[in-house]
Structure 1
Amino acid sequence: MNYENILSEYSNGITTITINRPKKLNALNKDTIQELHDAFEDADTDANTKVIIITGSGEKAFVAGADISEFADFSVEEGGKLAAQGQALLFDFVESLSTPVIAAVNGFALGGGLELAMACHFRVASSNAKMGLPETSLGVIPGYGGTQRLPQLVGKGRAMEMVMTAGMIDANQALNYGLVNHVVELEELLPLAEKIASKIMRNSSVAISKAIKAINANYKDGKDGYKVEIKQFGKCFGTEDFVEGTTAFLEKRKADFPGK
């Protein structure tokens, strides 16, 4: 599929999605959010794709925020609809994908950019990365899940401070907070993400998809994460991957998972 605002490339089990609006510091507008949804959906339904990596073009920004010009004159109703549609179309969608998603954060990840990174299953960052939710400086609050996912990742107090001050933290502080898993120099960022992806691909993609459901359930209101874990654990016993994994272990050989 041809896109105007993003690039999507497949290689050796990995689909890399690159937000490609460098003149706008890869800011998210309506069209880009739709294209990202389509690209993620295509990658998730592609049996050959075992891991998805999302990053930004250039060296300055992952995503520098939302395109404010699109909603500066919105009404209360339009603002609420913007948040609801965006969360459903992209942010909640990414979080719930069965394919692992790694955010490779290069440069600024602000506002909707940080919210997109937090919706991914985990994050790695370049040493020049800077992250924040500056929405309160514009008279609004994060609307794409930021007030929910940030405290889940860094704790309530740190999230309150970041949102209230509208300030940025650097990559090392993000690492200390637990917001990102690893920090490397910019030129090492994608190779690191690909290295982690290769480790993921050694394991059962079916089991990983069930683990994502179980882990996410712990953060959903009205969900009993333990019950979801039990259910997903049980389902694993009916998969070809389980048969292959246990057989390989007993035969003392490397498993060759069929992904079924």
Structure 2
Amino acid sequence: MIDTVVDANVCWLTITRPRAANALDAGTHQALVAGLGCASGDENIRAVVLRASGERAFCAGADLKEFAELPSGVAALKRRELLLATLLALLEFPKPLLAAVQAPAIGAGAMLALACDEVIMADTAWLSFPEITLGLPTPMSAALISPRTQWRTLHRLVQLGERMNAPDALASGMVDRVAPLAALAPDCAARAAEHALRSGHAYASNKRWMNRDVRRNLAQAAALATESSRHAFTAGQAPTYRADQR
């Protein structure tokens, strides 16, 4: 589910569920957190690039087929707990961490990218947070988007569920670089190598300070989303989750 390759002090972590549009199930969450842990403890690794296999999607979000046998509210809580643990692992990773987004990044998949230090996107890719169109609250998305862009872009993405293409994402600050698809991997490799030249201790200290508010806000947003879901469930207003909705 996560393939690991180390090349010239750069670790490439690849989500390998192309038939499922690289949707996040429990195994993928756990493997990604474990991969980050190994990379953090390996002194020979100076930077990490998170990428995904296939052309269909960088990541289509949560795997809604998982936990399908559970009540929708319970399943949503489990997915949210897994996602929060993964996002915090990304935000707390002490070394340079880049996202190579080769295809659409949707919902939780877009959150993975935004939790990295830099996002490099293919010029044909796009991102979206469609939860609002499914009747789902997504304050966790808002917590990750807000440090990167202005309020009106946050509103369009979270409250309207609008899709954002790569040029617009670059112009709004949602991503850091845009490259032709064929140049995405070389561009990420060069950028990671540049990051790898920086002092590891200084980088980690800066990152811990820079991400302090995001970590706190993300945890609070997860708690808010859980409370909102519980309220809707007890009020008989819980949304219906379908395996084909992403």
Q: Please give the range of the TM-score, normalised by the shorter of the 2 chains.
A: 0.7 to 0.9
Q: Is residue 25 from structure 1 mapped to residue 35 from structure 2 by the alignment?
A: no
Residue number in structure 2 paired with 1:233: none
Structure 2, unmatched stretches of 5+, are: 218-246
Q: 1:26-77: CA deviations, max 9, x gaps? A: 1111111111111111111111110000011022321122111225553535
The residue identity in structure 1 corresponding to 2:77 is: G
Residue number in structure 2 paired with 1:132: 128
Structure 1, unmatched stretches of 5+, are: 223-260
Deviates more, 1:71-80 or 1:26-35: 71-80
Q: 1:84-132: CA deviations, max 9, x gaps? A: 34212x1011111101110001111001100100111110100111101
Deviates more, 1:148-157 or 1:181-190: 148-157
Instruction: Give the whole-Å Cα distance in 1 for the aligned partners of 2:198 and 2:90.
Output: 21
- Counting only pairs closer than 5 Å after superposition, residues 1-260 of structure 1 correspond to structure 2 as 5-71=1-67, 73-88=70-85, 90-142=86-138, 145-219=140-214, 221=216
Instruction: Give the whole-Å Cα distance in 1 for the aligned partners of 2:78 and 2:56.
Output: 30
The sequence identity of aligned pairs, in percent, is 27
SS at match of 1:140: coil
Deviates more, 1:159-168 or 1:179-188: 159-168
In the TM superposition, residue 136 of structure 1 has moved relative to its aligned partner by 1.6
In the TM superposition, residue 134 of structure 1 has moved relative to its aligned partner by 0.7
Residue number in structure 2 paired with 1:249: none
Instruction: Give the whole-Å Cα distance in 1 for the aligned partners of 2:171 and 2:122.
Output: 14
TM (normalized to structure 2)?
0.82
TM (normalized to structure 1)?
0.78
SS at match of 1:87: helix
Instruction: Give the whole-Å Cα distance in 2 for the aligned partners of 1:134 and 1:94.
Output: 22
SS at match of 1:67: coil
Aligned residues: 216
CA RMSD of aligned residues (A): 1.8
The residue identity in structure 2 corresponding to 1:165 is: L
Instruction: Give the whole-Å Cα distance in 2 for the aligned partners of 1:107 and 1:64.
Output: 10
Structure 1 segments, 4+ long, off by >3 Å, are 71-78, 218-222
CA distance 1:217–1:54, change in 2 (3 Å): same
Instruction: Give the whole-Å Cα distance in 1 for the aligned partners of 2:171 and 2:67.
Output: 34
Between structure 1 and structure 2, the one with the greater Rg is 1
SS at match of 1:63: coil
